[in-house]
């Protein structure tokens, strides 16, 4: 790769590629994504193999090479039956933001063990993304605080916020964008957003098309503005800006020992929830992210030298489309689904007496089970029959059957079993029918085992990687062991993933 002045022209999109994204193969776009597609090993059918795709489980899976059942981060937050309260995946019992709930070590930890002197730094829009990618003991981790618009860390990582960060915030902080509009970047010549399938939702009386002001009527910079700015691509620009600063501050890549910089760009998730993946807003987030990745790669070339670093790109989950834009088979869960689920508890109370059957979600309240003299497994079987009768529900899986271990050919149950941890998971898992978007009200979400929620990009580029498409199913648990192998770091035993053969092309390919 060394010596080449411009990235090669992107190759034609692999078969089966979503036509919405054909702009990335346009020869006029030469930013990060086109470059990674041209220079990387590209896995178009990579998936999270677990059944509950969410931010925290997705990041922990990419970092550990294990499914959530192994690393323990089964959801963003879960109910602790013994403590009787919700546990946020990255807040420890001392109230600190930290990886203490992570039950496995990560690529970052393997690297630090194998290479004393390796520096690990992470940064993200969301705290859980920065924490879980950084592993158990990184040198630093930073995330954006939604209310103050500033990057934060916790005492788990550093005794106090570093002085340089305050100075950086004064010069580059989100506050400087107060009074700016969110404007859509132009598409390359000849491409039109509507023709690619990105369109505003017709007949939405609350739509405020781009360009749009950010924040409310408060004329002072404060929480209202920062919370609104947290829902724009600006937060990705903050993460990329901080990443350049971190390269300097931590001298990343400056010596012969490999370092790890883990970044997570959160805007596409946040904007996508609100407007849907085919919105002009989401398109703009990706266009801007593409530029940011291009800038970061150019900067790595300049500082470290081309071909002297490894890059991996993936995602924590996919998403359902906005049902109102996509149309059938997609439909939004509504009154019937809500009422049917709510009446399960009423029916259990009618049959067995006692109130308050569920402590949180589908996790039984242990005191009610005890009072009714009903074991959790029996209650689970009974509730599963009731929930199965609800509209839009394709199947219900109980903790009992997931703990027992599903049959080898039961793909769906296996996916949920990979998301299952006996102490952290609910007593029931709902598998929604194809097309049902389990979100009431506006927006969309990612909460099912269907491919639109589990399929993610996976691209690796750099020394030891032969560019080209790699058709066929691979899983996100394969990323960490693949990177470890490329770095010459021993791959721990007992992982769910395996190193992918990125140094060779598939036979016949
Ligand atoms: Zn999300």
pLDDT at 190 over 60: yes
Report d(CA 478, CA 458) in Å as an integer: 10
pLDDT at 345 over 50: yes
Question: What are the Cα distances from residue 445, in Å, to 58, 189, 299, 456?
Answer: 14, 32, 34, 15
The residue with greater pLDDT, 194 or 158, is 158
How many helices (DSSP H) and strands (DSSP E) are in the chain?
Answer: 19, 20
Query: 315 alpha carbon to ligand 1 midpoint, in Å?
Result: 11
DSSP state, 157? T
Predicted pLDDT of residue 7: 42
Predicted pLDDT of residue 389: 98
What SS3 state is found at 371?
helix
Report d(CA 295, CA 311) in Å as an integer: 14
Identify the residue whose tokens are 């890549």.
253
| Interior angle at CA 341, CA 361 and CA 368, nearest 5 | 55
Report d(CA 264, CA 257) in Å as an integer: 23
The two three-digit tokens of residue 486, written as one number = 């490329």
pLDDT at 438 over 50: yes
Regarding the domain delimited by 19-317+455-487, which CATH topology (the fold level of the hierarchy) does it fall under?
Alkaline Phosphatase, subunit A (3.40.720)
pLDDT band at 116 (very low <50, low <70, confident <90, very high): very high
The two three-digit tokens of residue 200, written as one number = 């505003």
- For 218-279, give the DSSP string: --S-SHHHHHHHTTSTHHHHHHHHHHHHHHHHTTTT-SSS--EEEEE--HHHHHHHHH-TTS
* CATH of segment(s) 334-391+393-432: 3.30.1360.150
Predicted pLDDT of residue 59: 98
Query: 455 alpha carbon to ligand 1 midpoint, in Å?
Result: 14
The two three-digit tokens of residue 40, written as one number = 């990387």
Query: 277 alpha carbon to ligand 1 midpoint, in Å?
Result: 12
Report d(CA 492, CA 110) in Å as an integer: 8
- In DSSP terms, 97 is beta-bridged to 91
What are the residue ranges of CATH 3.30.1360.150 in the chain? Answer: 334-391+393-432
* Percentage of the residues of the chain whose pLDDT score is greater than 70: 94
Q: Which residues surround ligand 1, an ion (CB under 5 A)?
A: 269
pLDDT at 30 over 80: no
The two three-digit tokens of residue 208, written as one number = 């405020």
Query: 3 alpha carbon to ligand 1 midpoint, in Å?
Result: 40
Cβ(141)–Cβ(122) under 8 Å? yes
Query: 233 alpha carbon to ligand 1 midpoint, in Å?
Result: 15
pLDDT band at 355 (very low <50, low <70, confident <90, very high): very high
pTM across the whole model: 0.95
Residues 6+ apart with CB under 8 A from 75: 52, 54, 56, 57, 68, 89, 419, 424
- In DSSP terms, 262 is beta-bridged to 122
Query: 265 alpha carbon to ligand 1 midpoint, in Å?
Result: 12
Query: 55 alpha carbon to ligand 1 midpoint, in Å?
Result: 6
What are the residue ranges of CATH 3.40.720.10 in the chain? Answer: 19-317+455-487
Q: What is the pLDDT of residues 373-410, one digit of tens each?
A: 999 999 999 999 999 999 999 999 999 999 999 999 99
Query: 356 alpha carbon to ligand 1 midpoint, in Å?
Result: 29
Predicted pLDDT of residue 10: 46
Strands 331-332 and 436-437, sheet pairing: parallel
Count how many Cα atoms sit within 13 Å of the Cα of residue 155 in the half-sphere of its side chain: 5
């Amino acid at each position: 790769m060394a010596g080449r002045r411009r990235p090669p022209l992107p190759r034609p999109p692999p078969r089966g590629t979503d036509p919405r994204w054909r702009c990335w193969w346009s020869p006029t776009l030469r930013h990060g994504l086109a470059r990674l597609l041209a220079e990387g090993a590209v896995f178009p059918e990579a998936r999270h193999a677990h059944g509950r795709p969410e931010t925290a489980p997705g990041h922990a899976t990419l970092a550990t090479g294990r499914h959530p059942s192994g690393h323990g981060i089964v959801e963003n937050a879960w109910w602790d039956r013994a403590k009787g309260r919700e546990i946020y995946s990255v807040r420890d019992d001392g109230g600190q933001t930290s990886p203490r709930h992570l039950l496995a070590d990560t690529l970052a930890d393997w690297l630090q063990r194998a290479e004393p002197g390796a520096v690990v730094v992470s940064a993200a829009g969301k705290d859980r993304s920065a924490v879980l990618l950084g592993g158990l003991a990184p040198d630093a981790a930073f995330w954006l605080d939604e209310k103050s618009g500033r990057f934060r860390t916790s005492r788990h990582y550093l005794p106090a916020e570093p002085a340089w960060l305050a100075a950086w915030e004064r010069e580059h902080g989100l506050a400087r964008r107060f009074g700016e509009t969110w404007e859509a970047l132009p598409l390359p010549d000849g491409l039109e957003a509507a023709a690619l399938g990105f369109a505003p939702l017709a007949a939405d009386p609350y739509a405020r098309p781009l360009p749009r002001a950010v924040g409310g009527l408060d004329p002072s910079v404060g929480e209202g503005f920062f919370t609104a700015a947290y829902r724009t691509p600006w937060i990705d620009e903050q993460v990329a800006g901080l990443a350049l600063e971190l390269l300097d501050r931590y001298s990343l890549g400056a010596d012969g020992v490999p370092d790890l910089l883990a970044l997570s760009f959160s805007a596409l998730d946040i904007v996508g929830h609100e407007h849907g993946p085919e919105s002009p807003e989401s398109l703009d987030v990706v266009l801007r992210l593409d530029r940011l990745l291009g800038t970061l790669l150019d900067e790595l070339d300049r500082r470290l030298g081309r071909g002297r670093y490894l890059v991996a790109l993936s995602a924590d989950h996919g998403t359902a489309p906005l049902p109102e834009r996509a149309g059938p088979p997609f439909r939004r869960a509504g009154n019937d689904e809500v009422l049917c689920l709510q009446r399960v508890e009423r029916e259990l109370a009618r049959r067995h007496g006692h109130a308050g059957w569920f402590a949180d979600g589908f996790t039984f309240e242990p005191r009610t089970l005890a009072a009714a003299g009903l074991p959790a497994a029996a209650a689970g079987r009974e509730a599963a029959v009731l929930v199965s009768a609800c509209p839009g529900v394709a199947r219900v899986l109980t903790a009992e059957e997931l703990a027992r271990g599903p049959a080898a050919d039961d793909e769906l149950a296996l996916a949920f079993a990979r998301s299952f941890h006996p102490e952290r998971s609910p007593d029931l898992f709902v598998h929604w029918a194809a097309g049902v978007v389990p979100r009431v009200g506006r927006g969309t979400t990612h909460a099912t085992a269907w491919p639109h929620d589990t399929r993610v990009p996976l691209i690796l580029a750099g020394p030891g990687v032969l560019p080209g498409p790699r058709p066929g199913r691979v899983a996100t648990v394969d990323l960490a062991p693949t990177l470890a192998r490329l770095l010459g770091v021993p791959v721990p035993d007992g992982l769910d993933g395996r190193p992918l053969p990125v140094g060779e092309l598939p036979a016949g390919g």
